[in-house]
Amino acid sequence: MRPYLACLGDFGLLHAGLACLRSIARRLADGLRDVSDALEAQLLRIEGEKGLLGPAHRAYSGHSSGENRAIWNTWDWSRRGEEWDDTTEPEAWRASLIEHVLLPQLGDRATVLEIGPGGGRWSHVLQGRADRLVLVDVTERALDLCRERFADATNVEYVQTDGATLPGVADASLDFVWSFDAFVHIAPLDIASYLAEIARVLKPEGRAVIHHAGRFRRGPGWRSPMTAALFARLADEQGLRVSRQFDSWGDGKFGVRTNKDVITVLEPAA
């Protein structure tokens, strides 16, 4: 109140009183916002643990495609996204993920799609093994980076998405879908839409491997509200079968547990 009382002589009692009330109102609003955020987090937690896309998830407005587009269009991609590797043993972690997670699921699958390639962190592995690789991203910046990186490749195609669909990708045309470090930042309703699209474009014997959040939390990591149970429920509702969910590999030495993430392997439902 002291700054407003100091101005009392200049502006009068009404001004000082209104300014004081505004200050109190702002503090109350901030406090109520904190309470609202805490309640939202608890509602999301309960729904997530039950594996239900409930009212809190449906009303959730964070991690929108517009927000993602704004962030990743201005991101410093000089390290091509490799700054997100495990910080203790990044090279060993990356090699282990390729050996134990990506390649066993990829196999000799010829037609591959990656959602959220960023700077091509995993795309270079896919590009060297696929007859046809489709890179899908919500940002033109990421696609431009990949165009530069794979300028000499004749087997790569580029698609800009609205953040929830796979435009121009034909039904039952893909052997394999891969996404790492993208779905962790995607809103629940958009994830549901993507899963419907994955079910649409996979061949009957196709497979998808998706890395996603396993627990909502505000702060470092910027994870969207998703759990293994909710992801599995959404996949089932969209016509996909979960064949495996895990958070570590290589006899448990490596994983995605730091941020409470999960990797889910999907197949078209019979």
> What one-character-per-residue DSSP string does the chain give?
-HHHHHTHHHH-HHHHHHHHHHHHHHHHHHHHHHHHHHHHHHHHHHHHHHT---HHHHH--SS-HHHHHHHHHSS-GGGTTGGGS-SSSHHHHHHHHIIIIIHHHHTT--EEEEE--TTTTTHHHHHTT-SEEEEEES-HHHHHHHHHHTTT-SSEEEEE--SS--TTPPTT-EEEEEESSSGGGS-HHHHHHHHHHHHHHEEEEEEEEEEEESS-BSSTT-B-S--HHHHHHHHHHTTEEEEEEESEETTTTEESTTTTEEEEEEEE--
Residue 170 has pLDDT above 90, yes or no: yes
pLDDT at 161: 97
Which of 31-40, 73-82, 147-156 comes out lowest in average pLDDT? Answer: 31-40
Instruction: State the chain's mean pLDDT as an integer.
Output: 88
pLDDT at 75: 84
pLDDT at 11: 45
**Whole-number percent of the chain with pLDDT over 90:** 66
User: In this structure, how many other beta carbons lie within 10 angstroms of the beta carbon of residue 264?
Assistant: 22
Averaged pLDDT, 83-94? 80
Closest CA to 172 of 218, 220, 129, 111: 111
pLDDT at 175: 97
pLDDT at 1: 44
Higher pLDDT, 17 or 216: 216
pLDDT at 44: 87
Higher pLDDT, 135 or 38: 135
pLDDT at 87: 67
Residue ranges per structural domain of the chain: 2-50, 63-268
Q: 243-269: per-residue pLDDT in tens? A: 999 999 988 899 998 889 999 999 999
pLDDT at 18: 64
pLDDT at 17: 63
Q: What is the CATH T-level fold of the domain 63-268, as seen in this structure?
A: Rossmann fold (3.40.50)
Q: 197-229: per-residue pLDDT in tens? A: 999 999 999 999 999 999 877 767 789 999 999
